[in-house]
């Protein structure tokens, strides 16, 4: 979870037993694959934003998708930093501030995307099961406030990265961007390692529960309830048709 919702370069130190040529080749291949992905994502998400923002009538649904596409574009715009990171054999040249900010933005993007997908499922469920309530309360101002609240909540859950992320010099003068969950320079002490492990586990559980498990269960529950309603409606209609044929 440390690195957002897609595969990003590892920040751990390269094992000395692995041939340098193989590592460089792997990094180059990953960078080559990321570059066209970056171009396609920028063009695709940019077109979606243009259509949703300028060519379509502003509704609650378009507002949901506009925010979701903005999340995707935000993550896409961070990709070049990691392409450079790969091409330089995992040597971080952007400084400590960018190390903290980039991974904070990745976390914000992850939480916001998960929350927005959950919101879309809940919105569809409410439209289907509570149409009158939805018609009276589903307004653009309320949707806008809800989206702002989701972004703020995501930023609040991601602020630990501003403290935990740091740069560290390793073998050969190479600088890496890693998480230091103890906020201490003493990496070899047993007490610090145990504290770091506990903080890491707690942080991971928060990310897993709020960034995956809760959204997943909510989306699955909404989908199941929607399908059950559809089946019941078909069953009732079929019963009415059968009764009218008697």
Residues of the chain with pLDDT > 70, as a percent, come to 81
What confidence tier does 186 reach under pLDDT thresholds 50, 70, 90?
low
Give phi and psi for 143, each to the nearest 5: -65, -40
Q: Which of 73-77, 84-88, 169-173 has the lowest mean pLDDT?
A: 169-173
- What number does CATH give the domain 22-237? 1.20.1070.10
Q: Which of 27-41, 71-85, 189-203 has the lowest mean pLDDT?
A: 189-203
Contact 27, 90 (CB under 8 A): yes
Query: Residue 230: its pLDDT value, please?
Result: 64
Query: Residue 14: its pLDDT value, please?
Result: 40
Contact 82, 92 (CB under 8 A): no
pTM recorded for the entire structure: 0.80
Contact 65, 116 (CB under 8 A): no
Nearest Cα residue to 150 out of 55, 215, 236: 215
Give the residue ranges of DSSP H helices in the chain. Answer: 20-50, 60-87, 95-129, 131-137, 140-158, 160-164, 190-208, 214-245
What confidence tier does 188 reach under pLDDT thresholds 50, 70, 90?
low
Residue 121 tokens, joined: 């499922």
* C-alpha neighbours within 13 Å on the C-beta side of residue 178: 20
């Amino acid at each position: 979870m440390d690195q957002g919702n897609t595969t990003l370069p590892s920040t751990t130190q390269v094992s000395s037993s692995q041939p340098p040529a193989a590592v460089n080749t792997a990094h180059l291949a990953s960078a080559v694959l990321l570059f066209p992905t970056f171009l396609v994502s920028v063009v695709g998400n940019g077109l979606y934003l243009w259509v949703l923002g300028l060519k379509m009538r502003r509704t609650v649904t378009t507002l949901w998708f506009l925010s979701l596409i903005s999340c995707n574009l935000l993550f896409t715009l961070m990709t070049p930093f990691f392409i450079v990171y790969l091409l330089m054999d995992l040597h971080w040249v952007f400084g400590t501030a960018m190390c903290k900010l980039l991974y904070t933005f990745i976390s914000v993007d992850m939480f916001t995307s998960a929350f927005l997908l959950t919101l879309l499922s809940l919105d569809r469920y409410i439209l289907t099961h509570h149409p009158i309530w939805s018609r009276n309360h589903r307004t653009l101002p309320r949707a806008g406030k809800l989206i702002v609240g989701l972004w703020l909540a995501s930023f609040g859950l991601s602020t630990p990265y501003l403290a935990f992320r740091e740069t560290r010099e390793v073998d050969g003068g190479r600088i890496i961007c890693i998480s230091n969950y103890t906020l201490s320079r003493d990496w070899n002490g047993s007490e610090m390692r145990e504290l770091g492990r506990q903080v890491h586990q707690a942080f991971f559980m928060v990310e897993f529960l709020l960034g995956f498990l809760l959204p997943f269960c909510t989306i699955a529950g909404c989908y199941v309830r929607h399908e059950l309603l559809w089946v019941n409606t078909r069953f009732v209609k079929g019963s009415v048709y059968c009764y009218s044929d008697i």
